[in-house]
Amino acid sequence: MARGPGGAGTPRYLPVSEHGLIGDLRSAALVGTNGTIDWYCCTRFDAPSVFASLLDAENGGSFELAPDVPTRTKQFYFPDTNVLITRFIADDGVGEIQDFMPITDDSREADRHRLIRRVVCVRGSLPFRAYVAPRFDYGAQPHTVRTEHGCPVFESPSLTLTLTSSVPFETDGRDVWSLFKLHEGETAVFALDRIGGDVAPRACPRSEAADLFEATVRYWRQWLSQSRYRGRWREMVHRSALTLKLLTYAPTGAIVAAPTTSLPEQIGGERNWDYRYVWIRDAAFCVYALLRLGFTDEARSFMQFLTERIRRADDGTAPLQILYGIDGRRELPERELPHLEGYLGSAPVRVGNQAVDQLQLDIYGALIDSIYLYDKWGEPISSAHWDTVCHLVDWVCGNWDQPDEGIWETRGGRKNFLYSRLMCWVAIERAIRVARRRGLPADLLRWSRTRDTIYFRIMQRGWSTERNAFVQHEDSSVLDASVLMMPLAKFISPTDPKWLSTLDALGEELVSDSLVYRYDPQASPDGLQGEEGTFSICSFWYVEALTRAGRLDDARLAFEKMLTYANHLGLYAEEIGRTGEQNGNFPQAFTHLSLISAAFNLDRALG
């Protein structure tokens, strides 16, 4: 998008995949390959946006920065970091923007949420143009601009930002812009800071920006050095790990499902959701992926976060919600923002998530499986954590046979979903393992009986003789990719004849060139209009299921094909559309954690 003095052209939307992610473990920003920050929430992942031209090209707000001449662009991460480099190649020179957010342990500096943009002319000379147009509270709050110590200060009723720059700016009282030229070896620096409270305005001279660049590079490389993965797909696995870390909210250890809201699953459709919260399922799977690679601190922080969320009610109330705010809050009311047009006109734009009120029984299996793995690969769980596990398992034993909304959060009514039953089985089975290995007290007789009852229920009512496959919900004939978790969760042997015929059925109906659909909305109405793309986590589950079934050639081919659908930085949205475009919120934790698991297990199987 190009606007303001010196700009040309009309508003437009970059493809979702034409972005990189930066962050400071509290908030995050998306930077387009055109040099524009078109998504940024300050001061935390779920705060109202400051830049949201990704959801409304005219009214969302953005921070444009690019050469003021035609260029070709390239974008990459500084190796082994989350520092993003966007390069511009023109006839008269080459320039680059280094985008990053410093990570600091000092609480006052962390509250600054400093976003730094270093512009470097590496060859020749180039004219540049910056245009900073914040729109506070998703573009709903007015703001003014004043100058303080030579720096523009953007002031709204809820948030104040200041822009430190090494080049002079002009302003119209709402937005600010600058036209400047750099010659080979010259640098310009822009630093956008939140100010107020204990955080006072502070300059960011070139020397300090250089020091912060080095410190940020050092932080990410030191963090990544803990990884134990040395397999075939190290670059993709490490990029996925770095992305998962970027989606971690440091103050609580929470892991968000994605840093964005309302990026559509189908252009022009209504399947637009706010993912800037903590889904128990997603976060528990993240713990599994990070533990696999050796990152135990993140697992420990998340375990603490979860323990503090669990309710112990005597009225039979579920002890866990399916999702929480990143600070642990339980209320996440869903509302629409009609003043934003949505990405490429895909309304509505939603904030909050109504799914918070759903019952999804599978979360208990995901959580207790991660606790089991943490106890096995991390450190022995505490007595308090074991008390929590016992409380959860006792509740599951009494409630596993309720219909629920299921893993896909359908809005078409509760059903007896096979996946929910499967993960209830996992919850009990993993708790039994921990109790026996550690000699911990447990009602093993009740747990074992319930586990076995669930097993027989799945085998009898989750199996369709008509389809010769396990199906989406009891007494149906609808296929669902979530059953790919059956061998992954060790419920059934990956070479069991029933499972192999299920794998074949899924391949025939839900798989398209390695890409896997969740289910067919026409065959199983989910309460929403429109279609959706293939679901990338299911595609990686499919790779892992093929691996465990011993079909290694098929698994490796499917995995390599999936890697071609990543964007230029190795990032994935939630879904892949019919022509290979990335749809849905971006980047999505679920996809990256399943990539790590598939790579780990395929690499081990290949030897």
CA distance 401 to 328: 28
Q: What number is the average pLDDT over the span 90-105?
A: 95
Q: In this model, does residue 248 exceed pLDDT 90?
A: yes
Amino acid at 143: H
Q: Report pLDDT digits (tens) over 329-363.
A: 999 999 999 999 999 999 999 999 999 999 999 99
98 neighbors 35 (Cβ within 8 angstroms): no
State whether residue 207 is helix, strand or coil: helix
361 neighbors 352 (Cβ within 8 angstroms): no
Instruction: Write down the pLDDT at residue 530.
Output: 62
φ, ψ of residue 125 in degrees (nearest 5): -145, 150
Q: Whose CA is closest to 472, among 437, 429, 510? A: 510
Question: In which band, very low, low, confident or very high, does the pLDDT at 525 lie, cut at 50, 70 and 90?
Answer: low
Q: Whose CA is closest to 23, among 86, 77, 100? A: 100
State whether residue 335 is helix, strand or coil: strand
Instruction: Write down the pLDDT at residue 528.
Output: 62
Report the mean per-residue pLDDT for the chain: 93
CA distance 24 to 184: 30
Q: In this model, does residue 96 exceed pLDDT 80?
A: yes
Instruction: Write down the pLDDT at residue 299.
Output: 83
Q: Whose CA is closest to 213, among 32, 85, 31? A: 85
User: Helix and strand tally (H, E) in the chain?
Assistant: 15, 28
Q: What number is the average pLDDT over the span 97-125?
A: 91
Q: At what angle do helices 383-399 and 444-461 cross, to 10 degrees?
A: 40
Burial of 444-458, coded b for 16+ CB within 10 Å and e otherwise, reads eeebeebbeebbebb
φ, ψ of residue 504 in degrees (nearest 5): -65, -40
Q: What would the two tokens of residue 46 be?
A: 């779920």
DSSP letter, residue 340: S
Please measure the distance between the N-terminal and C-terminal CA atoms of the chain and give it in whole angstroms.
48
450 neighbors 395 (Cβ within 8 angstroms): no
DSSP letter, residue 376: I
- Sign of dihedral through CA atoms 508, 512, 517, 520? negative
> Any bridge partners for residue 151, and if so which?
148
CA distance 53 to 349: 12
CA distance 592 to 282: 11
CA distance 571 to 490: 29
State whether residue 1 is helix, strand or coil: coil
Written in H, E and C, the secondary structure of 152-183 is: EEEECCCCEEEEEECCCCEECCCCEEEEEEEE
Q: Report pLDDT digits (tens) over 412-451.
A: 789 999 999 999 999 999 999 999 999 999 999 999 999 9
φ, ψ of residue 507 in degrees (nearest 5): -60, -35
Amino acid at 123: R
Question: In which band, very low, low, confident or very high, does the pLDDT at 117 lie, cut at 50, 70 and 90?
Answer: very high
- One DSSP character per residue, 537-561 reads HHHHHHHHHHHHTT-HHHHHHHHHH
CA distance 477 to 502: 12
Q: Report pLDDT digits (tens) over 293-326.
A: 999 888 888 878 887 888 877 777 899 999 999 9
594 neighbors 540 (Cβ within 8 angstroms): yes
Burial of 419-435, coded b for 16+ CB within 10 Å and e otherwise, reads bbbbbbbbbbbbbbebb
Q: Report pLDDT digits (tens) over 357-408.
A: 999 999 999 999 999 999 998 889 899 889 999 999 999 999 999 999 999 9
Q: In this model, does residue 524 exceed pLDDT 80?
A: no
Q: Whose CA is closest to 558, among 516, 606, 600, 495? A: 516
Q: In this model, does residue 110 exceed pLDDT 60?
A: yes
Q: What number is the average pLDDT over the span 547-559?
A: 98
Q: Tokens 């799914």 identify what position?
A: 355
> Cβ of 21: how many Cβ atoms within 10 Å?
24
Sheet holding 575-576, edge to edge: 534-535, 575-576, 582-583
> Any bridge partners for residue 63, and if so which?
37, 132
Cα angle value 570/509/274 (rounded, 5°): 45
How buried is 261 (Cβ within 10 angstroms: 0-12 exposed, 13-18 middle, 19+ buried)?
A: buried
Instruction: Write down the pLDDT at residue 2.
Output: 39
State whether residue 230 is helix, strand or coil: coil
Cβ-proximal residues to 456 (8 Å cutoff; 6+ apart), any chain: none
Amino acid at 208: E
Q: Between the CA of residue 389 and those of 78, 382, 440, 441, what are the distances in Å?
A: 42, 11, 11, 11
Instruction: Write down the pLDDT at residue 6.
Output: 37
- Sign of dihedral through CA atoms 388, 369, 537, 40? positive
Question: In which band, very low, low, confident or very high, does the pLDDT at 10 lie, cut at 50, 70 and 90?
Answer: very low
Q: In this model, does residue 520 exceed pLDDT 90?
A: no
CA distance 542 to 480: 12
10 vs 205 pLDDT, higher one = 205
